[in-house]
Amino acid sequence: MIQIRRRLCLLKIICFSGVAGLLAFSNSGRPEKALPVFKDGEAQIVKRFEDPDFWIRHDLWVETESDLDKDGRLDRVHVAVTRPRQTDTEDLKLPVVYVTSPYFAGTAPDAQDTMWSPRQELGEEPPKRTKSNQIERKGERPIISKSHAKTWVPRGYIVVHSSSPGTGLSQGCPTIGGINEALAPKAVVQWLTGRASGFTTPDGQEKVEAYWSTGKVGMTGTSFNGTLPLAAATTGVEGLEAIIPIAPNTSYYHYYRSNGLVRHPGGFIGEDIDCLFDFVNSGNPEKRELCDCAIRDEEMIKSFDRKNGDYNDFWAGRDYLNQLDNLKAATLMAHAFNDWNVQPEHSVRIYEALKKKGVPVQAYFHQGGHGGEPPLKQMNRWFTRYLHGVVNDVENDPKSWIVREGAKREEPTSYHDYPNPAARPVEFFLSQGAPEKGGMNIQKGEKPGKETLVDNFSFDGISLAKAEWTKHRLIYTTPILKQPVHLSGTSTIKIRLASSKPAANLSVWMVSLPWNDKKKALITDNIITRGWADPQNYRSIRKGERLKPGKFYDMTFDLQPDDQVIPAGQQIGLMIFSSDREFTLWPDPGTELTVDLGATSITLPIVGGLDGWKKSQTDKVEEPKEEKAEEKKPSNPTGGPNSGRMWFNSDDEVLPLRFDH
C-alpha cells in the first residue's frame, strides 16, 4: 500500500523559500497549521491554499461493483485528485467536492446525420439511423478536468474528478442511466471514506489510500454531470453528505418522451438515448464493439420503443424518481424555467419528492436556458454546513430561490416554497375564433362549439403563435392584462379531441402576446410554458391505443412547471397544434385534429387565485399579497452557463452544452 506524497525535502523548500504567505508562525516561532476559515457561515479563501503551484495532483483507479466489459474482473474507474499541499506536509484532512462526467475524455462530433430522422409516420417503425463517428480520447494524466478546483481548493476542500464507466480511461460501458452509473460514483465515495479500494493502475494491485479525506463528500455538476450526483445519492452511500445537481436529467423517459409521445430535446431533432450512448462511448477502443452490441443494440434499441413512445420497464429503470428510498444527502436543486433541453420538470419532481421524504432540500430557479448554477454564496453555505459541519442555519433558510424577470442570476428572491404557497388553480374556458384567435375566460361560454386544425410540421411553433390567421393551429387568448399576473406552479390542460387518423401528435404552448420581435428579445418574453402528449395514451402512458378516426377522446396532462410574472398590456394565450417542429416527429402533413371546446379547459396556477386574476382585469393598483419569506439575495456568483451551444463551468473550462444532459 502506498501513499501519494512529495519528497520530504519539499517541506524544507517551502519552509525556507521565503515565499510570502506560504507559512504562518505562532508566537513560539513554530509554523501554524493551515486550516479552513469560516465567516458568516461560509468557507473563506485561505491564502496558503490558493496557489495552484502548491497543489498536489495525482490519479488512480477505483474498483466498482460492475463488470460490464465482461472480462471477468470488476470494472475500475479513472479518478483524479487535486488537493492543497498541506494535506501532505501538515497531515491536514479536508472534505471533498466531487465531480464525475462521461464527457471529460472527449465526445463524438455533433452531426445531424448521425441522429434518427424525424420524418417518421406515427405508429410505424422508424427509418434506420446512421451511427456516429468514433471518439478520439483527449486529456493527459493525471488531470482529468480542472473544473471547480479554483473555486473550492482555496476554500479548504479537495476536488476529485472521475470519468464515467466506459469513457476515457475508465473500464466498463456507458449505459446512460443504468445502475453502473450510480455504482461507479458510489465506489469513489466509498474509497474517499476508506470502504473501497483504489489502485495506482487500471490492472495492478498496488493500492492508494485517501488518507487526506475527512470522509465527508459533496457532489455537483451540470446536466449529465448533475444527473450523476443524484444517481450516486440514490444508493444511500455513507459519506455522501450533500449534492448540488444543476439542470439534472432525472428521467430519460421524460427527456426523450412526453406522455406517450416520442419527443426530442429542444434543439436536437432526432436524438434518442442510443445517440447519447454513441456520443460518450470514449473508452477502450478494443471494448467499444462489445459495449455497442451489449448495451446500445441489445438493450437500448430493442427496448426504447421509438415506434410508440410508451413508458416501459426500460425507461422506469432510468427514472430516478423511482429510486429515492435510500437518498439522504442534503440536496440543493438548480434549474431554469426556460430550459427546453433538460426541462424544469426534471428538478421539480425530485424537489417535491424529497420534501415529502424530509430530506434537507432547497431549490434555485432562474429564467434563462440550460445550465446555470446557484450563486456561489448559496453553494458555499450548503457545502459549509454539510461537509465542514459549520452550523450556519442553512437548513432553516427559505426553500425556494427564484431569479425574477430582469434580475441578475446571483440575486434570486426567496420564497417559503415552490410553487408559491399563495398560488391557486384557476380554470379557463375556451370560445371559438379559428382560424384567427378565440377567447380564454374564467366563464364558460353558452355555445363553445368545435374547431379543427390541420397538421403541418413545416411551420414552427413561434411562426404559428405569431400568425394572425392560419389553419395549422388553434389559439385562444385572455383579455389584455391591466395588472401583472404571477404564475407559479404547473398548468394542466383538459382536452377532448378527435383525429382524422389513427395516430397524431398533440402539442400545447402557453404564450404571452403580442410577440416581442425586438432584436434583444428573449424566449422568456413570449413562451410561458409548453407540453406534449400522444392522444393514443389518453388512458395510460404505458399503453397507447390506435384512435378511431372521428371519435372524440378525453385526456388530461401537465405542461412544464414555471414561475413567471406576465406584465400588464399582454394577453395569455393557449395554442393547440399537432406536430411541433422543434420537438416531435414529422409525419406527413394533413392530419386533422378537432377540439371540442365545451369539454376543453386550461388550469393556471395564479398567485392569489381567482382574486389575483380578477385584480389583473382592473385598473386599480394594489400590492400583491404573496406568502413570501423575507427577501435574501446571495451574492458573489461563480458565473454560469447559458442557453448557447457551449457552457462554461465555474473555472471557465469549456464543455459541450449540447450533450451535457
Residues with catalytic roles: 223, 339, 370
Q: What are phi and psi of 145, to 5 degrees?
A: -160, 150
Distant-in-sequence, close-in-space partners of 577: CB < 8 Å, separation ≥ 6: 453, 455, 461, 464, 472, 473, 474, 507, 508, 509
> Residue 654 CB: number of other CB atoms within 10 A?
9
Contact 64, 127 (CB under 8 A): no
Amino acid present at 249: N
Ramachandran sector of residue 242 (left: φ over 0; alpha: ψ -120 to 50; beta: rest): beta
39 closest CA partner among 155, 158, 157, 213: 155
Contact 199, 63 (CB under 8 A): yes
**DSSP for 118-173?**
S---TTSPPPPPPPPPPPPP---TT-S--TTHHHHGGGT-EEEEEEPTTSTT--S-
> Residue 347 CB: number of other CB atoms within 10 A?
29
CB burial class (10 A; 0-12, 13-18, 19+) of residue 598? middle
- Coil, strand, or helix at residue 276? helix
- Separation between Cα atoms, residue 76 and residue 518, nearest integer Å: 53
Contact 183, 172 (CB under 8 A): no
Tell me the C-alpha to C-alpha distance, in Å, between residue 494 and each of 135, 555, 597, 599, 601.
Answer: 46, 6, 10, 8, 5
Tell me the C-alpha to C-alpha distance, in Å, between residue 100 and each of 184, 194, 212, 258.
Answer: 9, 19, 20, 28
Ramachandran sector of residue 24 (left: φ over 0; alpha: ψ -120 to 50; beta: rest): beta
Cell numbers given for 598: 365545451
Contact 44, 154 (CB under 8 A): no
Distant-in-sequence, close-in-space partners of 574: CB < 8 Å, separation ≥ 6: 428, 430, 440, 475, 476, 477, 493, 508, 509, 510, 602
- Separation between Cα atoms, residue 550 and residue 148, nearest integer Å: 57
168 closest CA partner among 280, 11, 27: 280
Contact 386, 241 (CB under 8 A): yes
